[in-house]
Amino acid sequence: MEVAKVNQPIPLIIHDLQDSQMFSLAQAAGRAGIRVEGTCHPFEPWLKASQYIDRAVELTCLEYVTSSAYALNLRNSGLSGVWLPCSDDLVEFTARYRPLLEHMGMRFLSPNEEQYEMTQQYHLLPEVKGLEKTFGGDVQVSSLYENIDDLPYPLIIKAQRWKYHIIDNAADFLTFLDHHQGKEHQEDSLCLQSWIEGGIERMASAILLFDANGHVVRGFTGRRQRVAPTPDGTFGESTAVKAEWIPELYDGAVELLTAMKWQGFAEVECKQAPDGKWYVMEINPRLSGWACLAEVDGAGMLQAYYDMCAHGAVLEEACLQRSDSRYVRMITTCYHDPDWAVSTEENDTIWNRIKRIVYTLREYRKDPTRFSLGAWDGQDLRASLYLLRRTIRRVWAIYRGKSEIFD
């Protein structure tokens, strides 16, 4: 596992392979016949067991070290190939350390620093006809105090994973800010998001891939079915999604990213208000965590990215999805919980969750080609069983109130 094979095709480099979402992308690439290498921390048994991972180098995650230290460690890893940044911090790192990565022999398509900043500061986004802008992004706490009476309430505060809150008015926000500032390690900014009325069925995303000239070459749209709950409602991470072609969402997202002269992957998360307009909730400057659904549904996004980066392929715009597939997150590691382990609606009983598992597995058995269960692959059984064991341990720890052992 530590020694690269010689005379092999250029590998796809994926970081943090120990994470189930990254691992599911590695499996999708492997099923497409793409050789996969990457980093991990720590080195987990499913990486050694997987038939899809040619090489994994243990490298401390960027989350835990400075970007300069990560750059040095990455340079010393000996990795080289098609670089696929799959998290926001790696996208920012890629923009800042582009010359180093290119010197290492990395080939990639990714936004620059200015484009990345626009995804973090919503007021910088260009105006387009197809989508409505909302208030939000990373906002300085000092400016929030100054403009607290003029903010467009209600707002979602995305302070911590699993702890998103809705703030209804200026008085409640002032209380929150005072409490936040009283903490020992408070942040200089907060991630905010406008609240748009409507249920889960109104939430959808477009996943897009742009070439080096800023032209869209691949696209995919999907609608959420279930999301992880938060204390104030169900607007957390997606745990179940269905592939659905939504042309107005696709066209609006393409219009927005084309105006930004985008390169590489992006996910435009939107919500449709009761008036029918689509509002931008968030732009992830990378692949979505459930991009494995796009692969199962035939979108061919990983293959297109690899061909452009590895071979300089020139591709035309094509949306290849079939819109007959579903994603249900069944097994996970690190920060994510499986669909069956979280309550997605009021009075969601254990019995209802068991029925969801049985139904999902029954449908998956009927036609595995129409389902993505995340990091589960029957052809990669040993690795999948290791992940399943880890998932059960994680869920059991959560119910016992000891989930921090897996953070």
- Sheet (strand 53-58) strand order: 53-58, 36-40, 12-14, 82-84
The CA distances from residue 15 to 117, 155, 193, 215, 369, in Å, are 22, 33, 28, 26, 26
Give the number of other Cβ atoms within 10 Å of residue 67's Cβ: 14
| 171 CB-near residues (< 8 Å, 6+ apart) | none
119 belongs to a structural domain: no
4 belongs to a structural domain: no
Q: Are residues 303 and 164 in the same domain?
A: no
SS (H, E, C) 231-299: CCECCCCEEEEEECCCHHHHHHHHHHHHHCCCCEEEEEEEEECCCCCEEEEEEECCCCCCHHHHHHCCC
Supply 109's token pair.
Answer: 């398509």
Q: Are residues 190 and 204 in the same domain?
A: no
Q: Are residues 238 and 321 in the same domain?
A: yes
User: What span, in angstroms and rounded, lies between the C-alpha atoms of 146 and 38?
Assistant: 45
168 belongs to a structural domain: yes
Q: Are residues 306 and 206 in the same domain?
A: yes
Note down the domain range covering 106. 12-111
Q: Are residues 44 and 75 in the same domain?
A: yes
368 belongs to a structural domain: yes
Q: Are residues 97 and 173 in the same domain?
A: no
CATH number assigned to the domain comprising residue 214: 3.30.470.20
For residue 57, the cross-strand partners are: 39
Q: Are residues 185 and 310 in the same domain?
A: no
Supply 298's token pair.
Answer: 């035939």
388 belongs to a structural domain: no
216 belongs to a structural domain: yes
270 belongs to a structural domain: yes
CATH number assigned to the domain comprising residue 148: 3.30.1490
CATH number assigned to the domain comprising residue 22: 3.40.50
User: What span, in angstroms and rounded, lies between the C-alpha atoms of 305 and 315?
Assistant: 10
401 belongs to a structural domain: no
Q: Are residues 264 and 220 in the same domain?
A: yes
Q: Are residues 211 and 180 in the same domain?
A: no
Q: Is the pTM of this model over 0.75?
A: yes
For residue 372, the cross-strand partners are: 327
Q: Are residues 210 and 260 in the same domain?
A: yes
Look at the chain and report how many structural domains it folds into: 3
Angle CA 397–401–403, to nearest 5: 50
Q: Are residues 31 and 75 in the same domain?
A: yes
Q: Can you give the pLDDT of all 407 residues of the chain as single tens digits?
A: 443 444 579 999 999 999 999 999 999 999 999 999 999 999 999 999 999 999 999 999 999 999 999 999 999 999 999 999 999 999 999 999 999 999 999 999 999 999 999 999 999 999 999 999 999 899 888 888 888 999 999 998 886 655 788 899 999 999 988 887 766 556 788 889 898 988 889 999 999 999 999 999 999 999 999 887 766 666 678 899 999 999 999 999 999 999 999 999 999 999 999 999 999 999 999 999 899 999 999 999 999 999 999 999 999 999 999 999 999 999 888 778 888 887 666 567 778 878 888 988 999 999 988 999 999 998 999 999 999 999 988 888 877 765 544 44
Q: Are residues 234 and 173 in the same domain?
A: no
